[in-house]
């Protein structure tokens, strides 16, 4: 047998060594064929920044994750080979150069990934390379869930839960045992010339404008993800009583787990999270329930992944069988003001500035700014907000990002469009003193609690005393919520009439947020459409 045969495990999203069945498969094949050599590979495409919206904070998270993955692989006597280039151009070279006989990887539901994987799988078949694929980015394989629903996406959360109740959940795969020294592959020609050619990238390599980096509150990597999971589940009382609507969207420190970035990159296994959480809940009869519970949050992720797997146009309105077609308007000035926290509404601006600085905002804060951009105030397409989140969020995930934006714009899944978040009252409920605003909108730090959410109400003399003139030091509000949201409600009502033949959920789904204050939410139309 040729002693230079290679098994490639191709890392994409599952950037971890725990619960990685594709990596385990590669290691098992090596045990049966001791002359095979393992090369764990991550392909870093330099063109990714040109066609994907990836901001500096998210690229730093990826860079830290790759470095930590490299270190964790070294602990099992391997390493990470970071290959620069486009997969379609890189793989033909690697298959021949390394004499590859086996390729393993984790499946992905995104249209781009499916096209890429089909191309690479075809290439492997032509070169007699065996391919093993495993679904491990979610708790349930989306394709299996869809088969249980006759190939159709479940359009309500409760329908999804009824489907997965019938599907058994596997056990997490173990961490691979330490590989023998004989498994280490010899250096190829490139590595012989430059021993560092396959090393993880530096910050400078992946980020062009380092000055745009914000504070690093959530470091990337598997070790950090596992640490954060254990820390989150350590308080049994908190876990059992957790209800998303009762957490604060504008606390100065996160009131939730902030595990979403680690799940998005696959630094943390969602299955491991599920199993550890279920063990706690099984031992305690009194605990919160989905959709608002901690388990419920995990299931939301599964729900959107299943829906996204069924609809290739899930991230756009046109051609999307799930999404209502709504005549959104284009307003570049309003979009720019929203994206950079200059709407004149301090609560909205504070959220968007936190997002740009830290790469993360609370889920209910996302509700507020998404409603403001779309059906609530600015009447701008959810696709535009999705693009901004894709760039700035550490946890920007194709299926979740699109699913949440459709939900919050009342384009799919959630159809009680008359429930509008107030850009003033909603934030006051959990932070009446405005500490969150003062942190992220420091221009208003001298404004008292009674007026900081509505600084335009301050008299000119008071504004001078507070050292912040509205329209000069802080922008005037770009729309008047009290009137514009009523106009938008009429537009939504008309859009629903036009879309009356579109197949949507049979009835409104129970929501995971509290109803906004009655004083700032208009009454529902006299005749509500039954969906």
The angle subtended at Cα 487 by Cα 450 and Cα 530, nearest 5°, is 110
Sequence-ordered list of residues with C-beta below 8 angstroms from that of 264, at least 6 positions apart, any chain: 13, 394, 395, 396, 397, 400
Supply the pLDDT for residue 49: 66
Domain spans of the chain?
A: 1-136, 138-171+222-310, 332-520
Determine the topology of domain 138-171+222-310 in CATH: 1.25.40
Supply the pLDDT for residue 51: 65
**pTM assigned to the model:** 0.92
For CA atoms 480, 509, 153, 529, the dihedral sign is negative
Given a contact cutoff of 8 angstroms between Cβ atoms, the answer to whether 499 and 325 are in contact is yes
The angle subtended at Cα 150 by Cα 144 and Cα 153, nearest 5°, is 75
Q: Which two tokens stand for residue 196?
A: 């560092």
Q: How far apart are CA 444 and CA 38, in angstroms?
A: 57
Between the alpha carbon of residue 81 and those of residues 39, 193, 518, the distances in Å are: 7, 15, 57
Best CATH choice for the domain 1-136 from the list 3.40.50.800, 3.40.50.620, 3.40.30.10, 3.40.50.720 = 3.40.50.620
For 311-345, where are the alpha helices, taking DSSP H only?
332-339
Instruction: Say how many residues make up the chain.
Output: 531
Supply the pLDDT for residue 525: 36
Given a contact cutoff of 8 angstroms between Cβ atoms, the answer to whether 283 and 293 are in contact is no
Supply the pLDDT for residue 502: 52
Q: How far apart are CA 165 and CA 172, in angstroms?
A: 18
Q: Which two tokens stand for residue 283?
A: 């031992």
Q: Which two tokens stand for residue 2?
A: 């040729």
Strands (E), 36-128: 37-44, 81-84, 100-106
Given a contact cutoff of 8 angstroms between Cβ atoms, the answer to whether 434 and 453 are in contact is yes
Decide if 1-136 and 332-520 have a common fold. Answer: no
Sequence-ordered list of residues with C-beta below 8 angstroms from that of 100, at least 6 positions apart, any chain: 5, 6, 7, 8, 94, 127, 129
- Could you tell me the CATH superfamily of domain 332-520? DNA Cyclobutane Dipyrimidine Photolyase, subunit A, domain 3 (1.10.579.10)
Between the alpha carbon of residue 233 and those of residues 238, 256, 259, 280, 495, the distances in Å are: 8, 11, 11, 8, 44
Q: Which two tokens stand for residue 246?
A: 């009762």
Supply the pLDDT for residue 503: 47
Supply the pLDDT for residue 4: 77
End-to-end CA distance of the chain: 64
Q: Is 413 left (phi over 0), alpha (psi -120 to 50) or beta?
A: left
Please name which of 244, 222, 229 lies closest in space to residue 293, comparing C-alpha atoms.
Answer: 244
10-residue mean pLDDT profile of the chain (531 residues): values are 81 98 96 92 84 87 98 97 96 96 98 96 98 98 97 96 96 95 91 96 90 93 98 97 96 96 98 98 96 97 98 97 96 98 98 98 98 98 98 97 98 94 97 98 97 98 98 98 98 91 41 34 34 24
Supply the pLDDT for residue 3: 64
Q: Is 108 left (phi over 0), alpha (psi -120 to 50) or beta?
A: beta
Q: How far apart are CA 227 and CA 240, in angstroms?
A: 20
């Amino acid at each position: 047998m040729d002693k230079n045969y290679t098994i490639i495990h191709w890392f994409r999203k599952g950037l971890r060594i725990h619960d990685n069945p594709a990596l385990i498969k590669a290691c098992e094949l090596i045990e049966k064929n001791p002359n095979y050599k393992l090369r764990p590979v991550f392909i870093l495409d330099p063109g990714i920044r040109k066609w994907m919206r990836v901001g500096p904070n998210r690229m730093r998270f990826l860079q830290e994750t790759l470095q930590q993955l490299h270190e964790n692989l070294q602990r099992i006597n391997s390493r990470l080979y970071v290959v620069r280039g486009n997969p379609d151009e890189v793989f033909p070279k690697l298959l021949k150069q390394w004499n590859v006989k086996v390729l393993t990887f984790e499946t992905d539901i995104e249209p781009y990934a499916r096209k890429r994987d089909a191309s690479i799988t075809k290439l492997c078949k032509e070169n007699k390379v065996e391919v093993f694929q495993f679904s491990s980015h979610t708790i349930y394989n989306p394709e299996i869930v869809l088969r249980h629903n006759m190939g159709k996406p479940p359009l309500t959360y409760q329908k999804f839960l009824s489907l997965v109740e019938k599907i058994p959940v596997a056990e997490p795969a173990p961490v691979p045992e330490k590989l023998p020294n004989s498994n280490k592959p010899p250096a190829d020609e490139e590595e012989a010339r430059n021993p560092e050619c396959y090393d993880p990238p530096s910050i400078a390599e992946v980020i062009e404008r380092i000055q745009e980096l914000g504070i690093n509150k959530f470091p990337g990597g598997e070790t950090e993800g596992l640490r954060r999971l254990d820390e989150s589940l350590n308080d049994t009382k908190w876990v059992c009583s957790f209800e998303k609507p009762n957490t604060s969207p504008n606390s100065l420190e996160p009131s939730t787990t902030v595990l979403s970035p680690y799940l998005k990159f696959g630094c943390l296994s969602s299955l491991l999270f599920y199993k550890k959480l279920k063990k706690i809940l099984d031992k305690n009869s009194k605990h919160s329930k989905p959709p608002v519970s901690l388990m419920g949050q995990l299931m939301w992720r599964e729900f959107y992944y299943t829906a996204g797997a069924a609809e290739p146009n899930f991230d756009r309105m046109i051609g999307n069988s799930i999404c209502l077609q709504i005549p959104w308007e284009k307003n570049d000035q309003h979009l720019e003001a929203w994206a950079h926290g200059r709407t004149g509404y301090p609560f909205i601006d504070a959220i968007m500035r936190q997002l740009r600085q830290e790469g993360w905002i609370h889920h209910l804060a996302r509700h507020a700014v998404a409603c403001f951009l779309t059906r609530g105030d600015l009447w701008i397409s959810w696709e535009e907000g999705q693009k901004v989140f894709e760039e700035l969020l550490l946890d920007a995930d194709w299926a979740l990002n699109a699913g949440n934006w459709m939900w919050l714009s009342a384009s799919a899944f959630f159809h009680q469009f008359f429930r509008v978040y107030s850009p003033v009252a909603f934030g006051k409920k959990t932070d009446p003193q405005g500490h969150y605003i003062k942190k992220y909108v420091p221009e208003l730090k001298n404004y008292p609690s009674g007026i900081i959410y509505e600084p335009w109400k301050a008299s000119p003399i008071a504004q001078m005393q507070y050292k912040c003139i509205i329209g000069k030091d802080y922008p005037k509000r770009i729309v008047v919520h009290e009137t514009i949201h009523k106009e938008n409600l009429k537009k939504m009502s008309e859009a629903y009439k036009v879309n009356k033949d579109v197949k949507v959920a049979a009835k409104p789904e129970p929501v995971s947020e509290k109803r906004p204050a009655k004083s700032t939410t208009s009454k529902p139309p006299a005749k509500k459409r039954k969906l």
